[in-house]
């Protein structure tokens, strides 16, 4: 999401277009709200609501990680969380009114790249401020690279304080990124969606532990059991999800009887081979949200190429119970765009409706009550739709997928990372139904919401503006 760098009042904002301190302006006279420069779908009251100016987020250098989002939603607390682009300030707004609920000022870092995430636990929602930068090097201390984690309770008020602050030293030759779900975060280098070594952070306790690749024995691997190298992909409430690829005692060219297995393990709870659909030897963990894990399954490919969602082989996209592995909903899809399936690649586009009845992830949506899914992937005559949000009635929204030569557009489930936020010239948008599976093109240049609350409020963002509009 885009960074917010201007302070907003309830129902108003600084309309000057400048880059004021995000906590400034609480006493000045209210200005007219900054309006979105593009239309939004029917059903949202654009003449009311609140808005503020915004700046583009930093592009992540590690495709497949959770990147550096500067806006997040705490749904149960009813908050929009804003982080300044330089990581110097965090502000929590009431989703419905735009009123500032609390602010947080972290320790000073320079050359900062920052991201903000919201995680849910037994003690409630926690806001996780993750930053990369350098210490000041004041006094006798030398400047050094670091990654810091600050955890703030979402139900804070006024000037919030961090319940936990972690300072993780970063070697000069290491590019660190963040891999976050709504129940866990890993900090460390990312290659093809997995970590060779990372630090797992427990937002509830502040406890950190090192997780790294390990050798595990997997049953149901090929014709029996096999020892594989499992690499951490992302953290969840059921433990770290690790991905593995069988390389020994199987035919990597998929020409023999013993097919290689590509799978994953969820903490100590379950392994992909115990829940794989019939004849599916390739399982990729795409995302986690709430009590669910989203995966992709298909028959064995040659292990020299990454698995892909293509038009030559059907792929099953499934929603599993995170604690047991039981499949709650699934759909079989193909795609004319040949999108790479990578651990964690759909995390940024995976959303539950507030009531928990519907789930969208990448280009697929699911009605969890019925177990049915719908594909919004490309065909020879239609374009794919990257889904961004889903409401309690099953109405979902998305961006029409545009294929170019960048890794971001060839990676399944990753929302466009562009300097224009979600709205980039040439991107069309659509509204779809999770109940019927139908899709409808929206008017040209229409912006789609990134979140729709249970009361109908929609969160929208372009390059310059973030706005929240109530249902009309």
Q: Which tokens sit at 222?
A: 């090929």
Report how far residue 120's alpha carbon sits from residue 14's, in angstroms, rounded to the nearest whole number. Answer: 32
Report how far residue 308's alpha carbon sits from residue 260's, in angstroms, rounded to the nearest whole number. Answer: 16
Report how far residue 142's alpha carbon sits from residue 138's, in angstroms, rounded to the nearest whole number. Answer: 7
Q: What is the pLDDT of residue 281?
A: 81
Report how far residue 430's alpha carbon sits from residue 306's, in angstroms, rounded to the nearest whole number. Answer: 29
Contact of 159 with 26, CB cutoff 8 Å = no
Choose among 184, 190, 189: nearest CA to 128: 184
Report how far residue 269's alpha carbon sits from residue 271's, in angstroms, rounded to the nearest whole number. Answer: 7
Q: What is the pLDDT of residue 416?
A: 63
Q: How would you write 403-459 as a 3-class SS string?
A: CCCCHHHHECCCCCCCCCECCCCCCCEEEEECCCCCEEECCCCCCCCCEECCCCCEE
Q: What is the pLDDT of residue 243?
A: 96
Q: Which tokens sit at 261?
A: 């297995």
| Strands of 197-201's sheet in order across | 177-180, 185-188, 197-201, 208-212
Sign of CA dihedral 448, 53, 68, 120: negative
Report how far residue 177's alpha carbon sits from residue 201's, in angstroms, rounded to the nearest whole number. Answer: 13
Contact of 242 with 233, CB cutoff 8 Å = yes
pLDDT tens, N- to C-terminus, the chain (472 residues): 332 222 222 233 333 333 333 334 333 333 455 678 888 999 999 988 999 877 677 666 565 678 788 899 999 999 999 888 889 999 999 999 999 999 999 999 999 888 999 999 888 999 999 999 998 776 667 888 899 999 999 999 999 999 999 999 887 777 788 999 999 999 999 998 999 999 999 999 999 999 999 998 888 776 678 889 999 999 999 999 999 988 777 776 666 667 788 899 999 999 999 999 988 889 999 999 999 999 999 886 665 678 899 988 889 999 999 999 999 999 999 999 989 999 999 999 999 999 999 999 999 999 999 999 999 999 999 999 999 999 999 999 999 998 776 666 788 998 864 433 444 555 799 999 999 999 999 988 899 999 999 999 999 988 778 899 999 9
Tell me how far CA of residue 174 lies from CA of 147, 168, 170, 187, in angstroms: 11, 12, 7, 12
Strand partners, 65: none
Q: What is the pLDDT of residue 59?
A: 64
Report how far residue 343's alpha carbon sits from residue 352's, in angstroms, rounded to the nearest whole number. Answer: 19
Report how far residue 260's alpha carbon sits from residue 250's, in angstroms, rounded to the nearest whole number. Answer: 5
Q: Which tokens sit at 401?
A: 């997928």
| Bridging pattern class, strands 262-266 and 239-245 | antiparallel
Report how far residue 85's alpha carbon sits from residue 343's, in angstroms, rounded to the nearest whole number. Answer: 28
DSSP string across 164-203:
EEEEEE--TT---EEEE-SS-EEEE--BTTB-SEEEEE-T
Q: What is the pLDDT of residue 75?
A: 96
Residue 409 sits at φ, ψ, to 5 deg, of -80, -15
Choose among 284, 241, 281: nearest CA to 261: 281
Q: What is the pLDDT of residue 407?
A: 65
Place of tokens 């690649």: 345
Residue positions counted in the chain:
472
Find all residues with CB under 8 Å of 208, minimum gap 6, and list them: 166, 168, 199, 200, 201, 202
Contact of 417 with 349, CB cutoff 8 Å = no
Write down the pTM of the prediction.
Answer: 0.89
């Amino acid at each position: 999401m885009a960074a917010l760098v201007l302070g907003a009042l309830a129902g108003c904002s600084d309309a000057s277009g400048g880059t004021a301190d995000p906590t400034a302006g609480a006493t000045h006279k209210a200005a007219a709200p900054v309006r979105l420069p593009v239309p939004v779908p029917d059903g949202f009251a654009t003449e009311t609501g609140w808005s503020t100016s915004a700046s583009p987020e930093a592009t992540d250098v590690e495709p497949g990680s959770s990147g550096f989002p500067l806006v997040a939603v705490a749904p149960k607390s009813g908050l929009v969380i804003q982080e300044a682009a330089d990581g110097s300030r965090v502000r929590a707004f009431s989703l419905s009114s735009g009123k500032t609920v609390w602010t947080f000022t972290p320790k000073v870092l320079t050359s900062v790249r920052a991201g903000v995430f919201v995680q849910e636990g037994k003690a409630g929602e926690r806001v996780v401020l993750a930053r990369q930068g350098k210490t000041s090097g004041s006094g006798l201390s030398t400047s050094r690279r670091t990654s810091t984690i600050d955890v703030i309770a979402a139900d804070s008020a006024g000037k919030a304080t961090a319940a936990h602050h972690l300072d993780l030293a970063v070697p000069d030759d290491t590019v660190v990124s963040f891999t976050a779900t709504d129940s866990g975060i890993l900090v460390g280098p990312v290659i093809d969606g997995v970590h060779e070594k990372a630090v797992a952070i427990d937002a509830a306790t502040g406890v950190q532990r090192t997780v790294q690749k390990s050798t595990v024995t997997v049953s149901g691997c090929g014709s029996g059991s096999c020892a594989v190298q499992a690499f951490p992909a992302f953290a969840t409430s059921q433990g770290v999800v690790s991905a593995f690829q069988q390389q020994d005692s199987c035919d990597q060219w998929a020409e023999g009887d013993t097919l290689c297995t590509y799978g994953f393990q969820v903490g100590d709870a379950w392994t992909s081979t115990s829940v794989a659909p019939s004849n599916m030897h390739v399982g990729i963990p795409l995302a986690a949200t709430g009590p669910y894990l989203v995966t992709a399954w298909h028959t064995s490919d040659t292990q020299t190429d990454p698995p892909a969602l293509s038009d030559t082989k059907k792929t099953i996209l499934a929603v599993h119970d995170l604690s047991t592995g039981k499949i709650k909903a699934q759909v079989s899809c193909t795609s004319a765009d040949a999108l790479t399936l990578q651990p964690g690649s759909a995390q940024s586009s995976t959303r539950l409706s507030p009531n928990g009845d519907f789930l969208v992830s990448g280009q697929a949506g699911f009605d969890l009550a019925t177990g049915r899914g719908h594909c919004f992937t490309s065909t020879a005559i239609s374009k794919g739709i990257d889904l961004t949000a889903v409401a309690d009635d099953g109405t979902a929204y998305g961006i029409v997928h545009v294929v170019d030569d960048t890794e971001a557009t060839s990676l399944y489930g990753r929302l466009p990372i562009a300097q224009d936020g979600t709205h980039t010239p040439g991107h069309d948008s659509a509204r779809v139904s999770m109940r019927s599976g139908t899709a409808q093109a929206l008017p040209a240049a229409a912006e789609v919401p990134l979140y729709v609350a249970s009361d109908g409020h929609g969160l929208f963002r372009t390059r310059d503006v973030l706005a929240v509009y109530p249902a009309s």
